[in-house]
Each structure stands twice: as C-alpha cells, then as structure tokens.
Structure 1
Amino acid sequence: MHKTQHTVDDQKVATTHQALKAFMDAHVYPNETRYLEEVKALPDRRQPVPLMTELRSMAKEQGLWNLFFSNPELGSGFSNTQYAPLAETMGRVMWASEVFNCHPPESGNMELLHHYATDAQKQQWLQPLAEGRIRSAVAMTEPQVASSDATNVETEIRRDGNHYVINGRKWFISGAMHSDCQLLIVMGKTDPHNDSVHQQQSQILVPTATPGVEIIRPLTVMGYDDAPLGRAELRFNNVRVPAENIILGEGRGFEIAQGRLGPGRLHHCMRLIGCAQRALEEMVQRAESRVAFGKPLSQQGSVREDIANSVCDIEQARQLTLLAAQRLDDLGAKHARDIIAMIKIVAPQMAQRVLDRAIQLHGAAGLTEDLFLAEAFTYARWCRIADGPDQVHLASLAKQTLKKYGQG
C-alpha cells in the first residue's frame, strides 16, 4: 500500500487554501441557487451543468485543480494530511469538490491509475482524467449479492484469446450517468474456483462505448438523483475488451481495491467534517436570529446543549481524521486500516447527528432545498453504506483490536 511523501512545503499548502477559500467565497457560495436551478432545467439529466463547466474552467486556470493528487506532475503533490483542510473547505457545498476535479469517484480512479496502471493505460486514461476532459466510474457493487462482502461479486471476466469477455450486473455506480463518463473500472471474477477467495477477482478497464455496456436505469438516493453525475444500474452483455486492459494482472482485484479505498474513505470523512462545520455555523446564526417564547433560541438551554455537543462532535472527528491522514501518509493504507476504519465509522455518524440538530433547529425550512442541510444529511447517511457499511468497519476494527490486545 502506498505512502504519500510530503513533497510540498506547508506554506504552499496555506497559500493554496487561502486561494481556495477566496474562490469559494467569490464563485461557489453565491451560485448555490443558480446551480440548483440549472440542474432542474437540464433537458437531459446526463448533460453537464453549464455553471459547473464554467467554474471548472476558472478553477483550472487558477491552478486550483487536482488538489488531492499526490502526483506532483498532474496535481498538487499534497500529502493526505496537507489535503485534509482543503477537502473540508470543499465539503461545505455538496458539489464544490467537482469544481476542482477533486470529486469521487474521479479522485480515487486517478490515484488507482497512477499507482497501478501501465504506461499505456495511463496515457490513454489518466492523462485525460487529470485534464478533466473525460469522466470515469468504478463498477463494483452488485444488486443480487451482499456486496459488503466483496468476495460475493459474481460478474464474470473470462479470458478469450487476446480479449476478456465480461458478463454481469452492477448498480449504484457513481458517476456512470454523466454523458462525459468514458471509462468504467470493473471488478469481477477471473478465477472463481481459486482456493483463495481474495485472488479470484480482477479489475479491468472498460470504455463505456464498448458494445454490450448497457445503462439499465438511473438510481436515486433518498430521492436525490445527483444529476448529472448520477448513480446507475448497469448490465454487461458479452462485453469484449483487449487483454491489455486488465489492471496489474489476474487475481489482483482485492489488492487494487484496498489501495484505492483507503484514501477514498478518508476523503469522504474530510468532506463530511466540512458539511458538519457549516451546519453548526448555520445553527448558531439561526439560534441568534429567531425568537420563541419571548427570547432568542440561543438562550434556550436545549439549543445551547445541541450547539455545544456539535462543537465537541466535530472537533473530535476532525482530529481523528487528521491523525488517520498522518498515519496513511507515514505508513500506507495497510498499516492505517484500523484508524481509517475508526474514522469511517465516526465521521458519517457525527455528521448525521450534527445535521439532524441543525435541521431540527431550522424547523420545516431545514427539510427543504432552500438550505443545504437535507441534501447533506442524505450524503452523510449514504456514506454509512458507501465504501463499506458501518458493520464491516466495526467488524474489521474489532478483529484488529482483539488481535492486538487479546490472549494469543
């Protein structure tokens, strides 16, 4: 698993963060309503949002691009620890990370290709992804099996001469609905009878235009279709791709997945802290500005308790996230598994609690799209399932803890 070297001095990180905050203040926060209106007006839910195209061009021109990317030639070169506060800032608006080409699944896919792809694969796919000319998605989860246990994956990847033939179904494939999505990274079984269940799977590059790749339908999450990125249900019908599209080689699928998911899980947690921090700030503003039963809400004891508990919850999660980022930088994903599991358990639940308090304090308005709270709550709830449900991380953490402190 890959360590992230500190190749950039902290002063550059601070300067970049200030520029990011200024961009958010000037171009993102003032356009939240416009973005929502443009999404609603899309004649085709798969087409790019005009505002997003405009802002992405501006961000790229200003050098606020691929800020997550440890590869200094194509991105910032920042470590996970250095990137954490920037991701938190972007997390304050649900769609902001996309402006800077730092959104999932793009960020994880670029890191995957950077670490595991051949030079030819990088030339074909990593370069255009890093430049923002195309989009991509990861096809892992399947509707007919419990995908929390990835050994259950049933999609068949069968060698046939100089090609692989793929058959199977996938769903909740984030980013696959976007019209610019040109690449699917597909996980399936090349050796279903291997004695090691963790060497049965492989990952392979599948251009979305390949015959047999079928979008069955878009999916919603608690009513949100997340257009135009979207989440799709896909079918692979005898999809044939060249043998050189395999990543690392047969049987390496789990190895690739674990290397990719460590930083990806952490990035979600960073963004969730930004969500929760903004919710806290709006909670305070609401409490100061609204009067009930003869005094401001901020003078009500229960409101003060909610604010205080939220401050504690956010700061604990922030510090744990920074510690996880440092461990990931210093030791790599394999040796940071325990603390990554901790923060993946803690951060989404923390964000849910804080957002729930903020929604309650805002009353009916908190449930509407007039505020960011309802969509952010949906994101937090989704994160408790995405990249491994809570139960999987709890089981993994318990297993590691028992091994560390148990007898024998």
Structure 2
Amino acid sequence: MDFAYDAHTEELRARLLAFMDEYVYPAEQVAHEQRARLASPWDTPQVVEDLKAEARRQGLWNLFLPDAEHGAGLTNLQYAPLAEITGRSPQLAPTATNCAAPDTGNMEVLAQFADEAQRKQWLEPLLAGEIRSAFAMTEPEVASSDATNITTHIERDGDEYVVTGRKWYISGAMNPDCKIFIVMGKTDPDGEDIRRQQSMVLVRRDTPGVTVDRAMQVFGYEDHYHGGHAEVTFDHARVPVSNLIGEEGGGFAIAQARLGPGRIHHCMRLIGMAERAIELMCRRAVSREAFGKALAQQGVVHNWIADARVTVEQLRLLVLKTAWLMDTVGNRGAHTEIQAIKIATPRAVVGIIDRAIQLHGAGGVSQDFPLAELYAGARTLMIADGPDEVHQRSLARRELKKYR
C-alpha cells in the first residue's frame, strides 16, 4: 500500500500551507476585531472577503468538489489532506476557500441532482462565492436522527408546492448572504415506503411565509462565521413545482448522498483541529512552569502529548482509507468505514482538545485561544450528521449480519 500523497496533492498542500501561514492565521484576530465593529454580528468581516479573493486568485477554491466542470476535480483521497489543513482554522479557512458547510453539501446536491435551470440559478453563484445557502432538515419536535420522523409537509397545489413546518439548527441561515434553502419534507406522508415519503425543494429565503425566528447557540456560541444556526418557520410558503430537486419521493436518497461526503469532510477537518490543539499544547508546555519546572517536563503532560499524537496518526489512516474506498468502490462500498470515522473521530478529537484546554488552565476556556471554540465544534459533531449511537447501531447490525 502506498501511503504517499501524489504530486498534485503535494503541490496543493504546499500552496495551502503557505496561504494559511501568510493570510489565514494572521486574519483570525483581525476578523474578531472587525466583527465587533459591524452593524450586525451576522455581517461578514472585510478580512474574510479579502481571504476569499486571495484564495480564488491562488486557485485554492472549490477544492471539495470532485466534478472537474464545477470544482477542482480532486478525488476524496486528494482532498482529504487539504481539508485537514483548513480544519486548523475552522472559522476562516473553509469559508476562505469556498469549502465550508453547509454550502459544500448543497453544491454537491445541486451538481448531482438539480436540473439545468436550478444549477444556473443557484449552483453557479454558490460556486462563485457570491451567495450562501442552508440545508433545512432537522426539526425541534421530533427525533431527527431518524429522518423518516420529519413532519414538515410539502403539498402539491396546482403548479406550486406549499411548505409548512418548523426547522432548527439550520446552519448558515442567519447570514444575510444566505439566499436559498434546500428543504426536506414529506410529499407523501402516508406512503407505504417510509423512505419514499420525503422530497426536497428549493425555497428562497425571501419567500412569503418563511421566517428566520432566532439564532440557536452551540455551547453559548452563535457561530457567526458559519452564518449561525437558525430556527426557521415555513408557514404555507409557496414555491413553483419546478423547485423540486430530482423527483418526488427522492428526498431520503438525496440526503444520504449528501451526508456521505459531508461526514468525511467533517472528519478530515477534525484531524486539522486536533493538530492545532497539539501544537498549542506543545507551545504552552515549553513556555510555562509549575512547581519548579516546565510543564513540558511533567510526566502527565508527556502522556497527553504522546497519546494525542498516536490518536491522530490512527485517525488519519482510517480517514484516508475511507477516502480511498469512496473513490474506488463508492460511498455504498465504504459505508462501514464512513460510519467508523464518524464514530471515532469526533470523540477522539474532543479528548485531545480537552487535554489542551486543561494544559492552558483558565486561558483554555477563554476567548484568547481558539480551544474553547474548537471544543464546541468537535463536540457538536458527535451529534451532527447523525449521532454516534445511530452509526453504532447501523455498523453493529452490518457486522452481526455476517454471522446470521
């Protein structure tokens, strides 16, 4: 087995690492300072727009999309180490390179399932970074970990669909540049096949009947850089029938196609978050003393750092194997590995960040270091895109099936 990155990946890694050092890391503090002076906390700081322009100028743009016509044409295996690098600054780097969720998943849906008119109207401006989008699936009144539970109705009325329901934790919806929602609801709530009851429609944010009610917090953070996580009401919002994505009853299958790449993208970035935490842990350890010697000389700190390094190396190999399988046998063939990384990566990275916070003392939970925000993001991914327990249930059933 060849563990080396190919020449094209190495060249992109070098350029992206240089971009991070020269532009992204210095912009982190600037972005916080600029945001404090904005009229609305949901507006985009100018430094973020500057980063986007520079990334596009350097060709570090739409790296996530394997479709060469619209994206960089990279395989999952080629994109994996690049996503890891952007994960080191998750608030800025993914947005700067137009590789931020939920836009990435929405662009993949539009590229794969939308018709030509839908791609022209929505995919093209998303690819250009001119607008943002949101994916409306999760609901507050049901256990959305089982997508067949969703209660939002999408009813046909002549040449229109009428959308009625309530969604929450709709990432990106607070951003004023968010212009379009991909909404999942039931077009056939009484259908015999529970996985054919759902459909997806495009709903403009300014559609009458659509109300962005409030921003939901994540561990007290509003996640401004990602456009927040909103609660949204659809009160008999009407859209043309032409806004249907794919076919009626195809929503569940589209969601699964969307979430597969999304899960591995999150895990790639999580490894970058862990690497950032290890770096901060090491810098802190060699710069601080306690009880007469440097923290770097304390045995417990040695254990934390060594365990973190071993864990990251293990996770990276599993993620790269999963990316390779997705490229060679498809998402279905890599189903077990996708679930394995979704279970293993967030919980392990949470542990690494937690140790880094501990080593920083009070500073670790403060705004002076990125660790608290990294922790919140990593911990959330034990729930987002399917909670750990759902993936464990499915993976265990697949293993047991071999013995029945």
Q: Which residue in the other structure is 2:21 paired with?
A: 25
Within 5 Å, which residues of 2 pair with 1:281-360? 281-360=279-358
Q: Match of 1:385, SS?
A: coil
Q: What's the offset of the Cα at 1:11? A: 2.1
- How far residue 131 of structure 1 moved from its aligned partner, in angstroms, is 0.7
The two structures have a TM-score, normalised by structure 2, of 0.97
Displacement of 1:191 = 0.2
Give matches, 1:50-69, under 5 Å: 50-69=46-65
Q: How does 1:196-235 map to 2 (within 5 A)?
A: 196-228=193-225, 229-235=227-233
What displacement does 1:13 show? 2.2
Deviation >6 Å, runs of 4+: none
AA aligned to 1:82 is Q
Q: Which amino acid aligns with 1:111?
A: E
Partner of 1:12: 8
One-letter code of the match for 1:279? A
Q: Deviations over 1:25-76 (max 9, x none)?
A: 1111112111112223222122222111111111112111001111112221
Q: Which amino acid aligns with 1:69?
A: L
Tell me how far apart the structure 2 counterparts of residues 232 and 41 of structure 1 sit (CA, whole Å). Answer: 22
Q: Which has the higher contact order (CA 8 A, sep 6+)?
A: 1
Maintained 8 Å contact 1:310/1:354? yes
The one of 135, 140, 143 equivalent to 1:138 is: 135
User: Does residue 47 in structure 1 map to residue 19 in structure 2?
Assistant: no
**Which residues of 2 match residues 181-192 of structure 1 at below 5 A?**
181-192=178-189
| Distance across 1 between alignment mates of 2:343 and 2:132 | 29
Figure out how many residues of one structure are paired with residues of the other and give that number: 398
Q: Is the 8 A contact 1:258 1:333 kept in 2?
A: no
Report the equivalent of 1:164.
161
Counterpart of 1:198, as a letter, is: R
Long gaps (5+) in structure 2: none
Q: How do 1:52-201 and structure 2 match up within 5 A?
A: 52-95=48-91, 96-201=93-198
CA–CA separation in structure 2 for the residues paired with 1:375 and 1:384: 15
Deviation at 1:84, TM superposition (A): 0.5
Q: Please say if residues 59 and 99 of structure 1, whose CA atoms lie closer than 8 Å, have aligned partners that are also in contact.
A: yes
What is the TM-score normalised by the length of structure 1? Answer: 0.96
Q: Is the 8 A contact 1:154 1:168 kept in 2?
A: yes
Question: Is the Cα contact below 8 Å between 1:39 and 1:227 reproduced in 2?
Answer: no
CA distance in 2, matches of 1:402, 1:49: 51
Whole-angstrom CA distance in 1 between matches of 2:388 and 2:252: 19
C-alpha distance in 2, partners of 1:147/1:252? 18
C-alpha deviations, 1:322-367, integer Å up to 9, x for none? 1111111112212211111100011100110000010001111111
RMSD: 1.1
Alignment partner, residue 4 of structure 1 = none
Aligned-partner Cα distance in 2 for 1:177–1:144: 21
Q: How far is the alpha carbon of 1:239 from its aligned partner? A: 0.6
Equivalent position to 1:236, from 234, 237, 241: 234
Distance 1:48 1:297 in 2: 39
> Which of 259, 271, 274 is residue 272 of structure 2 equivalent to?
274
Q: CA separation in 2, counterparts of 1:125 and 1:118? A: 11
Cα separation, 2, equivalents of 1:182 and 1:31 = 26
Deviation at 1:297, TM superposition (A): 1.2
**Given that residues 167 and 237 in structure 1 are in contact (C-alpha distance below 8 angstroms), is that contact kept between their aligned partners in structure 2?**
yes
What SS does structure 2 have at the residue aligned with 1:333?
Answer: helix
> Matches of 2:45 and 2:250 in 1, distance apart?
37
